[in-house]
Structure 1
């Protein structure tokens, strides 16, 4: 118990000027492709005065930055008495396709202060379907070669340019260049979506790249997810057998005239040095086949190039890119180059990452260098790739004449820590290789650290699992012949993801694919985008992604529109379960169950951690129904609230009747069974404490080890803490022997593993058929670490951290912990230390929010500002 509570508040003697920062439109800074007629504006308020709330705001929007700054020629202005500063809808004149708009905010606070106008921000409207005049182009004839085609178009800028905006998409992947340089720093465009339903286009401001006079557009295409190998069974051409390019460059001159350069029959193509490129297998690049200057002015040989073919427009919709693009991030210098016991040359980068290696080399023309990628070494120290299954994951470079060359892939990525190098001319040194991490450009929002170095490494591993697998879609793994958007993994990890990074745009984009690939009967596929069969879906805890992530993202970011957009998909999923349920029991169909749960040695006492799959299904039936009710309440759909509340009561009644004895014992006495039943309130209230005790007894019976898999693990510690067993939750978290979260850390992991024992205590490996060393699902413990150890909690009734609960619960012999979270309103911080029986807590709350600080026996309501609390412990 804690007593002797003290709250120390220091008031500044003078206030800094009230200011407005971090302007965003639709979760993005200065977005280039806004498609909605009513984009939504968000901003953050900065003030050193405590208890600051916004009382009113003024917003203005204009086409001309200077005029808007002077308050002239506005397309919308509004002055509103409101404390809302997140996702405010535009309500001005109709916005025009392909036009850029500037906007500013100023606010008034509850202390009577008024900010200056913010720095101007902008948003660029996307291109409407009727404004596409370009023609899809392709290679002539059938697109059967593995080589990447190059497309080229010369054009002239003959007036003074005001702006030049390029709208680009492709079937396959594209890299666009103008006058010898890339048009952007993004990769794997146009991104992976449910291509049969919709294809994203990107928008680039290329004004500064263009020159007066002659210019050249050059675009190369790769197979990517569209045409390359994807899914299982050596599946190719899943979405189509022909790569294509669609491009429209709109130039506006200072005299007010416009000119458009676009893909049409006047473009030409040839094949370049990329001989093959595949997501799973890697890239083959022959530098001898490079065409010098092909993407720049002055190239004289395009009269030898081929005339392009054209393609009919497909049935898929062209949509603006709504999520963050994939970009390069951290660079890793090679730690060491060494010879394995098998005599192979291997490079260690020290971190399991996703991306590729940049290689410097010089040698005789025709020299072939092969880079193979692996996550781990065998216990003998040899290179290990068996767990990649059929994925080659190799990049092959063939040198041109004897000059130093720098290679990197274009249309593939690998998951690796180690690289085997074959055929390198001369001595390979650490200076010759650099590993590049690529992932979706999500802002880092969360930081977490404690006095325990193993926990800090666990947090590192969770973050890097997220980085490696949030490459345009939330994949299960980034290295083997899979790399698919498994729904069960994504829903398990979504809350943790939202602490570590700003995933609002990332999941908004992916949920469009969840909705698009949902079957007409409401079933949700196992993977999104769906590259499996039409019947590969409707598994409990996987398909429930349709309800879980929309709700979780609403709570994290306060995006009511996301619930509106996804509500019909949420309802269709619940209705699907109801359609196959009998007497309110979902006890049919295929289910993965508690995937990859711990399987103890049954030879000793016959026990096992196998949880009845239909019991699991029933709990998720209830959970999805509850989340649908929650969404209906937010959206004011009272008929749905009544309908599904009655259904929920029947679901829980059926669960009790089918799976529980009169004393609260479940037919599956596993940790996962009790965790899910307690987490989703399946049990009569008077029996819950006893069931939580049974859960604790099970944990202790296994030597204080968890036995849960993908579905039980995310909720395990939450349930223990909720029912008064926080000490047991800490004991599980701090457990260092297998199975536990810290066991892989002790074994040298730098990411989260797919299996609790991906590497066994004796150094041998788990089954290579399914043994990824970068698989974020078990990293879902991060959610509990932020909420319980650091104590930073959202409030569903005031989502997006408009209201905050700070409730740290120390334990596990941790002497200090600190976390920070950049919320839609600004930074929240919670840091505590335990010293000589005294708990010292530092809290920072952002402007325009309020918080409740909960310590044992003490609750304090506070507004924005930084506070210090102290409590004595007994």
Structure 2
């Protein structure tokens, strides 16, 4: 079931003697695009933010109304939950009167805590979208044909322009625009762009589902004449490459469905819809647009005022009715892509050929906005790349056949300002040719584009390299959020590979509020599932890769697990449970041998580092090494996940079956792959780390295996030796076995292979390969996140000590146990969880340890303080045994374990 989460932040100060809190302290934040819910049973969430300690919500009341004035007057005419005795503050399902399609509603909440009650929150609003197919009153329009200037063989297709004029003769109460513009659209009314989104809507497999966007256009729809303008770009709909139809899925030529629903103050209504009254043309200034190749724009072909009333449209064509794409219409509930930063160049240098190289100082994804003044017909080109060669020319070999070039032809009318609409590039450097005069830094601005999601995590430590890796990770993750998680933003790929984001998505969640995106991606994966249960390696399945393997498709299970751990939302498990179960049964029915070994794998430990950077020079990393060991380990792990999912989803009848399969996998794994010498498989780090991480190794063999893992790392001089699979479990497992020192050594390395090696060689993001500076350019993206593995999880959960207890997920109960590593003297981190901000700021000097923590209201934390005993621990200036709200649980392994409620605490101890 779809949902819209509304976050109400109760910024109040609760005290026992005061039940009322000033309403000025309340505010309401809404999820993006709240005008279009796909469900008439929304779910409500809020955060209780309050001063003081030990604050727990004891009850809540939600009120929902059809009118904001009624709600303000205390009338919840659609639903009043009444006072509900519960500490639940998220995903509360609406249980009122039926909601109508394409309608706006208002709600508020108040809570009671053990320290008092709040006033009503400020009013928040949400809208139901077009819930039924027949709510769409228009028809699909477009031009299902090529024009003479298009070139199908070269994937060159011009943008389509459509317009419609209409008049409003009454006073308008409200107006909402709904649009499905495929592949991409830009919407204007009376010459003004509607919304600040770019590259909309979010990409999907358009034969399965298509996303529509909704906008409140009441401010621009007044009495008088109006004009709607829509430009359609190609996006993923008209595929970037169509030469391999067996591999690449394409969907046709751009098309649109749109309507504006107007409610008048006299109670009547009107609908402006796509039909034969619209006019269109493909002979506009956007000559071609392609995500891989760039955008070509001829300013001489602009038609001024085309999207305003009164434009002469006689030469335009009548819009043609076209076939619908086939997928279910759904509102986009994940965030829009937007221009999130504008970045100035750090340098502009002229080359001997007269061109200019612009350096923006950071590898990113987006495009460049330019200003230029010159003669009519002058042609300006911008070529994008991630790095430079030794001669300071662009390094473009790793782009494959992506042209990554934008072209602008001047109209010659003073200073001209332009940026593309329907493409993006992965770049740090831009080569400019044909620029009239000498460019300056103010003439070019990089536009950094990613999904409009909040940064929720901060991390700083005494190790500057760890800090830089964190910064590079942020840029790499953001660059690859494009309405779905893609693998890279620069070459002719940019695909949503499942394997790249399995555990990495969990680490990302500490940096970005990616819940809506990954809920959407789980939908994408489910839509891609075949009737027999098969799940592809890429979803949406823009590439038809159904290779069958345990690692890539099991990303659905790992993403669902991440979403539950971080939010406590069981609905994501219930939504995806049938698909996860079906896929697991599909794999086990086809590929288990008689002993229970999973025989099918496709990739193995993808991209294991060569023995040295030089040994990998020029070597193509696109090499598959299938591993039955990895496949069987994952079969065991996924069955155990399904046991937990079955309990949470109320599918208890399935538990015994999953448990039996897990037991069979464990027995088969140990029988087939364990060697009496104390190692597994080929004695690689990955082969040995998985049995420990997944709990497969028999207890009597565990210590020998742990010693073997340490030996492998030591033999590699503290370097890692894992590919994509092993690195997902490496850092946390090392901490779990008591070797956080080895994990820290790996993270702190600056020599090959390591994350630090990337930085030492000029990286400002994360490379695809450990030897990205020497590998064959066919596969060496310089902005990839798959090799982050579980590093960021380790940063926040192990170094900072911010971890949600799985038994009380969504940070209802927080485990705070930071690692004490000799060379690390401080960590300062914060994470804005679903329940509020969690802070961990610790320092150690000699035997003295100080730790400032923040626990959000409606949560509690189990705090592990390094100390020689309870009498060595103080909170403020008091012994912990005398502090209200601090409960001593036990002492263990040089740690004093406390339970604390919400609030700010300042601990100090002697270790």
TM-score by length of 1: 0.94
Conserved 8 A contact 2:205-2:542 = no
Conserved 8 A contact 1:612-1:668 = no
Aligned equivalent of 2:546: 536
Aligned equivalent of 2:288: 276
Aligned equivalent of 2:756: 742
Q: Which runs of 5+ in 2 are unaligned?
A: 1-13, 151-156, 616-620, 866-893
Separation in 1 of the partners of 2:847 and 2:747? 23
Conserved 8 A contact 2:399-2:490 = yes
More off after superposition, 223-232 vs 715-724: 223-232
Q: What are the equivalent positions in structure 2 for 1:565-604 lying under 5 Å apart?
A: 565-580=575-590, 581-583=592-594, 585-600=596-611
Aligned equivalent of 1:754: 768
Conserved 8 A contact 2:171-2:222 = no
Aligned equivalent of 1:297: 309
1:286 aligns with 2:298: yes
Alpha-carbon deviations, 1:543-579, whole Å to 9, x = none? 1112111111111111111111100111012112211
Aligned equivalent of 2:688: 674
Separation in 2 of the partners of 1:700 and 1:424? 55
Aligned equivalent of 2:633: 619
Aligned equivalent of 1:798: 808
1:102 aligns with 2:112: no
1:63 aligns with 2:66: yes
SS, match of residue 679 in structure 2: coil
Aligned equivalent of 1:218: 229
Aligned equivalent of 1:869: 907
Aligned equivalent of 2:665: 651
Conserved 8 A contact 1:23-1:29 = no
More off after superposition, 661-670 vs 122-131: 661-670
SS, match of residue 503 in structure 2: helix
1:171 aligns with 2:182: yes
Aligned equivalent of 1:487: 498
Aligned equivalent of 2:211: 200
Separation in 2 of the partners of 1:602 and 1:244? 48
1:727 aligns with 2:731: no
Alpha-carbon deviations, 1:565-600, whole Å to 9, x = none? 100111012112211211254543451111111121
Alpha-carbon deviations, 1:439-498, whole Å to 9, x = none? 111111111111222211110111111100011110010100000000001113111111
Separation in 2 of the partners of 1:176 and 1:143? 23
1:85 aligns with 2:89: yes
Q: What are the equivalent positions in structure 2 for 1:397-416 lying under 5 Å apart?
A: 397-416=408-427
SS, match of residue 214 in structure 1: strand
Q: Which runs of 5+ in 1 are unaligned?
A: 1-10, 760-764
Per-residue deviation, 1:756: 1.0
More off after superposition, 809-818 vs 454-463: 809-818
Separation in 2 of the partners of 1:236 and 1:575? 26
More off after superposition, 621-630 vs 88-97: 621-630
Conserved 8 A contact 1:179-1:210 = no
Separation in 2 of the partners of 1:469 and 1:141? 33
1:392 aligns with 2:403: yes
- Alignment length, in residue pairs? 850
Separation in 2 of the partners of 1:573 and 1:863? 41
Aligned equivalent of 1:788: 798
Separation in 1 of the partners of 2:32 and 2:47? 13
1:834 aligns with 2:844: yes
Conserved 8 A contact 2:33-2:214 = no
Separation in 1 of the partners of 2:97 and 2:26? 25
Alpha-carbon deviations, 1:602-638, whole Å to 9, x = none? 999xxx9998611111111111111111110111211
SS, match of residue 470 in structure 1: coil
Aligned equivalent of 1:4: none
Alpha-carbon deviations, 1:318-363, whole Å to 9, x = none? 1111211111101100111013477641000011110110010111
More off after superposition, 308-317 vs 802-811: 308-317
Aligned equivalent of 2:563: 553
Aligned equivalent of 2:715: 701
Per-residue deviation, 1:297: 1.7
1:133 aligns with 2:146: no
Conserved 8 A contact 1:148-1:220 = yes
Aligned equivalent of 2:830: 820
The verdict on how the C-alpha distance between 1:91 and 1:561 changes in structure 2, with shifts beyond 3 A counting, is same
Aligned equivalent of 1:768: 777
The verdict on how the C-alpha distance between 1:195 and 1:143 changes in structure 2, with shifts beyond 3 A counting, is farther
Q: 1:501 aligns with which of 505, 512, 532?
A: 512
Q: What are the equivalent positions in structure 2 for 1:627-646 lying under 5 Å apart?
A: 627-646=641-660
Separation in 2 of the partners of 1:415 and 1:30? 27
Aligned equivalent of 2:199: 188
The verdict on how the C-alpha distance between 1:378 and 1:313 changes in structure 2, with shifts beyond 3 A counting, is closer
Per-residue deviation, 1:772: 0.3
SS, match of residue 225 in structure 1: coil
SS, match of residue 806 in structure 2: coil
Conserved 8 A contact 1:21-1:46 = no
The verdict on how the C-alpha distance between 1:338 and 1:12 changes in structure 2, with shifts beyond 3 A counting, is farther
Separation in 2 of the partners of 1:124 and 1:527? 33
Separation in 1 of the partners of 2:290 and 2:614? 45
Conserved 8 A contact 1:230-1:238 = no
Separation in 2 of the partners of 1:499 and 1:127? 34
Per-residue deviation, 1:228: 2.8
The verdict on how the C-alpha distance between 1:208 and 1:556 changes in structure 2, with shifts beyond 3 A counting, is same
Separation in 1 of the partners of 2:27 and 2:165? 39
Aligned equivalent of 1:7: none
SS, match of residue 431 in structure 1: helix
Conserved 8 A contact 1:758-1:766 = yes
Q: 1:117 aligns with which of 117, 120, 125?
A: 120
Separation in 1 of the partners of 2:840 and 2:242? 43
1:810 aligns with 2:820: yes
Q: 2:898 aligns with which of 848, 860, 866?
A: 860
The verdict on how the C-alpha distance between 1:669 and 1:236 changes in structure 2, with shifts beyond 3 A counting, is closer
Per-residue deviation, 1:241: 2.1
Aligned equivalent of 2:883: none
SS, match of residue 502 in structure 2: helix
Q: 2:365 aligns with which of 354, 377, 387?
A: 354
Separation in 2 of the partners of 1:870 and 1:770? 50
Per-residue deviation, 1:799: 1.3
Aligned equivalent of 2:679: 665
Alpha-carbon deviations, 1:669-708, whole Å to 9, x = none? 0111111111111111221222111011001001111011
The verdict on how the C-alpha distance between 1:810 and 1:378 changes in structure 2, with shifts beyond 3 A counting, is farther
Query: How well do the aligned residues superpose, as a CA RMSD in angstroms?
Result: 2.2
Separation in 2 of the partners of 1:42 and 1:236? 42
Q: 1:779 aligns with which of 771, 788, 797?
A: 788
Conserved 8 A contact 1:251-1:260 = yes
More off after superposition, 11-20 vs 332-341: 11-20
Per-residue deviation, 1:381: 2.7
Aligned equivalent of 1:260: 271
SS, match of residue 74 in structure 1: coil
More off after superposition, 457-466 vs 680-689: 680-689
More off after superposition, 162-171 vs 260-269: 162-171
SS, match of residue 478 in structure 2: helix
Separation in 1 of the partners of 2:722 and 2:178? 48
